[in-house]
A = this chain, B = another copy of it.
Amino acid sequence: MAEAAGKAEYIVGVDLGGTKILSGVFKHSLECVGTSKLSTKSQRGVEAVIERVARCVREAVDESDLTLKQVAGVGIGAPGAVNFAEGRVIFAPNMEGWKDVSLKKDLEKQLGVPVFVENDCNIAALGVHAAELKGKPKSLIGIFVGTGIGGGIIINGDLYAGFNHTAGEIGHMVLDVNGPKCGCGNKGCFEALASRTAIFQQIKAGIKDGQKTILTDMLGDDLSDLRSGDLRKAIRRGDKFTDKIVEGAAEYIGIGVANLVNIFSPEVVVLGGGVIEALADEMMSVIVETAQDYAMPGTMKGVEIVASELGDSAGITGGAVLARRETK
């Protein structure tokens, strides 16, 4: 499989998350030829994490029977605010000590390959747009529901990042001004109502109030190690309590979708992230129905609302798309 050495015709996408690092090596056609995965270990500090990112890239390249000389560029999605031009992570709330980190410069030093840094949700939207939807929609909003909720926006076929490169901070759109407290300090933010964190909190609060659920039979009373997939299993086993909470979250996601459709009039709305990946069958119809209820007449005509099928690969694919764009 080894190609003629020295020809830099591959690109690498990296998804740097709070718990794990994923890398994928891609051809320019966006065919993935090898991947690698490492835990992030953010508690070891910024320098250690950057070394792990570099190692994860090297391992994916080795896995693909290639060398770094054959890589034209690396695109990386980081979970926070970034300065794209300088390749700096300004702030990543879920990673210890990540304030104003020169990720591009430090990684380039270690890898000897050009590196491009973007926000993780922007990257994921780019990946879904380019690979899953073949770059066809002129405008798209990606909504990624996991620990938090983030968004990525495509306008005129390209990533839209806005004046401060912060566009897509949809997780802190206020939907219920008197609603539950959010980690950001405000009340009733989208992610305080419909993220995995919000869903788990509601489940734990319900159990404390004496609600019965199969989840405690499955995982014990303290629900240690609860995951989104467990919610799906409980619902499929007829657990009404879990079903109701997940449906409630889906309704809020539907309202969020309607707000964004009213504001943006995108051609496609794509939902992704761990919660959607695990619960698409349970949530999507409620999301679509609620969005149609709340959107203004005429705004939904012909608009597709779909769950991404890229799953965990959205990030690495988007990273590759970014690297391809920047090294053209």
Interface residues in chain A, defined as those with a beta carbon under 8 Å from any beta carbon in chain B = 81, 90-91, 138-139, 151, 155-156, 160-170, 172-179, 184, 186, 188, 252, 255, 258-260, 262-267, 293-294, 296-303
Per assembly, the copies of the chain total 2
Flag if B90 contacts A164 (CB, 8 Å).
no
- Give the contacting residue for A174; candidates B169, B170, B258, B266; CB below 8 A: B258
Known: A167-B264, A260-B263. 13 other contacts (CB 8 A): A91-B297, A151-B263, A155-B155, A162-B265, A163-B265, A163-B266, A164-B300, A167-B263, A169-B263, A173-B259, A177-B179, A186-B294, A263-B264
Residue of B nearest to A176 (CB): B177
Q: A299 contacts B179, CB within 8 Å?
A: no
Residues of B within 8 A of A259 (CB): 173-174, 259
**Given A164-B299, A177-B176: A170 in contact with B262 (beta carbons within 8 A):** yes
Report B-chain residues with C-beta under 8 Å of the C-beta of A260.
263
Query: CA A178 – CA B174 in complex, angstroms?
Result: 13
Of B162, B299, B300, the residue contacting A264 (CB under 8 A) is: B162
Closest-by-CB residue of B relative to A259 is: B173
Of all chain B residues, which has the CB nearest A262?
B169
Q: Which residues of B sit under 8 angstroms from A81, Cβ to Cβ?
A: 297-298
Query: Bound complex: CA of A138 vs CA of B161, how far in Å?
Result: 12
Q: Which residue of B lies closest to A173 (CB)?
A: B259
Known: A151-B263, A156-B156. A163 touches B177 (CB 8 A): no
A-B contact pairs, 29 of them (CB 8 A): A81-B297, A81-B298, A138-B163, A139-B162, A139-B163, A161-B265, A162-B265, A163-B265, A163-B267, A163-B303, A164-B265, A164-B298, A166-B265, A167-B265, A168-B263, A169-B262, A173-B259, A173-B262, A173-B263, A174-B175, A174-B255, A174-B258, A175-B175, A176-B188, A177-B179, A177-B188, A186-B294, A260-B263, A263-B264
Min CB gap A289→B, angstroms: 14
Closest to A300 in B: B164
Q: Which residues of B contact A188 (CB under 8 A)?
A: 176-177
CA distance A293 to B266 in the complex (A): 28
Which residue of chain B has its CB nearest to the CB of A161?
B265
Q: Which residue of B lies closest to A151 (CB)?
A: B263
Instruction: Check A175–B172 contact: CB distance below 8 A.
Output: no
